[in-house]
Structure 1
Amino acid sequence: MKKVIAVVIVSLLSILVLSACANDKEGSKVEKHSDMNHSSSSEIPEGMKVAGNPTYKVGSKVIIEADHMQGMNGAEATIVGSYDTTAYVISYMPTTGGDKVENHKWVTQDEIKDAGDKTLKPGTEVTIEADHMKGMKGATAEIISAEKTTVYMIDYTPTNGGEEVKNHKWVTEDELSPINP
């Protein structure tokens, strides 16, 4: 009888521990995005080139088809700026400590220290000059992927409520669709 009770207690404790781990993983995913600077200045990195022929012109209304943050996917946005660059997906350890940020979208060529004008290859270690998220500026990062594209700065109101996000940096052209195609 004591063995049965012990097995039941161990089983219940295991279920509780596993549940707590599952909840923590979900919570940390949201927590990482809560450190994101939802609104930022309209300043762009030095040397960044305004797009010559963007699909979406400044002032255009679009629908966001990206989920970098909660409430972003499906939101209506206004194009604030468009720039031709190389956009990178990066993974990095925040300078403020905490968990490694995996596959952050997007950091541009002009937001990487001493990047020059050649596309950096996956696996390259770089120093980030962007401050999209707390602990990003000055962090050492690894390039995960690179894409030559037009990036857009946008204003939008999250679909889950909340205040309008101003000058969000960045979404790529393939993460947007026209409102009236």
Structure 2
Amino acid sequence: MNTFKTVALVAGAAASVFAVSACSTDSATDSADETTAASQSSHEGHEGHGAGGHEHDHPEDGGPAPAGIEEAENPTYPVGEEVILTADHMPGMDGAPATVSGAFKTYIYAVTYTPTDGGDPVVDHKWVVHEELDNVGDERLADGATAVMNAEHMSGMKGAEATIVSSTDETVYMVDIDTDEMTMKRHKWVVESEIQPK
């Protein structure tokens, strides 16, 4: 009888430890899931970048400017200038401080496309520059024209066929952004009308 009680007590203690351990594992997993969900929701589609919940999975470093793009002469905001963004391409961008990391003169397009990775269509994505489009020559593309993109601003973009929604020939900028909401180097792109002096 004493032996039976001892075995029962040991088994009960082990079950309690297991239950506590399982609770804390579930709690940590739940917390991680909540953090992931919060992170994903903060990148869901906004005007200018997507529809149907397309996520903003921009790389932390956008990489160098595309080959062949021409640097702007005497841009309003030269490289190294601190500015305030007025673009609303993604959550946390409008009003964010940024530093100019490149200034270029080219044709810039807002485009609609379906990602190659099966994501929802992206409507009125701002922006893609002329040099990020395949075999389009030197002339500005008309609204409604289509072209295949070389740009890889977000997953599923490279190789997708884009339809031109609108275009501009404003000076276009790469910017470094470092705020509580986002940290990005050489983010592509914002046009001059989406920037104001700091």
TM over 0.5: yes
Which residue is 1:116 aligned to?
137
Deviations 1:12-63 (A, max 9, x none): xxxxxxxxxxxxxx9952642432334321x111110000121001110100
- Structure 2 spans left out of the alignment, 5+ residues: 1-41, 47-52
The 5 Å alignment of 1:19-98 reads 29=45, 31-41=53-63, 43-98=64-119
- Structure 1 spans left out of the alignment, 5+ residues: 1-25
User: Deviation at 1:125?
Assistant: 1.1
Question: Residue 33 of structure 1 contacts residue 69 of structure 1 at CA under 8 Å; is this kept in 2?
Answer: no
Q: Could you tell me which of 155, 177, 181 is aligned with 2:196?
A: 177
CA distance, structure 2, for counterparts of residue 128 and residue 96 of structure 1:
14
Deviations 1:42-91 (A, max 9, x none): x1111100001210011101000001111111000000110001110000
CA distance, structure 1, for counterparts of residue 190 and residue 121 of structure 2:
22
| Structure 1 segments (4+ residues) deviating >4 Å | none
Which residue is 2:172 aligned to?
151
Aligned length: 151
Aligned CA RMSD, in angstroms, stands at 1.7
CA shift in 2, pair 1:103/1:163, >3 Å: closer
Larger radius of gyration: 2
Counterpart residue identity of residue 193, structure 2: D
Moved more, 60-69 or 149-158: 149-158
Between structures 1 and 2, the one with greater strand share:
1
CA shift in 2, pair 1:110/1:27, >3 Å: closer
2:186 matches 1:167: yes
Give the TM-score normalised by structure 1.
0.78
CA shift in 2, pair 1:150/1:137, >3 Å: same
Counterpart residue identity of residue 36, structure 1: H
Question: Residue 97 of structure 1 contacts residue 135 of structure 1 at CA under 8 Å; is this kept in 2?
Answer: yes
Deviations 1:139-178 (A, max 9, x none): 01100111111110100123xx245211101000000000
Which residue is 2:24 aligned to?
none
Q: Secondary structure at the match of 1:110?
A: helix
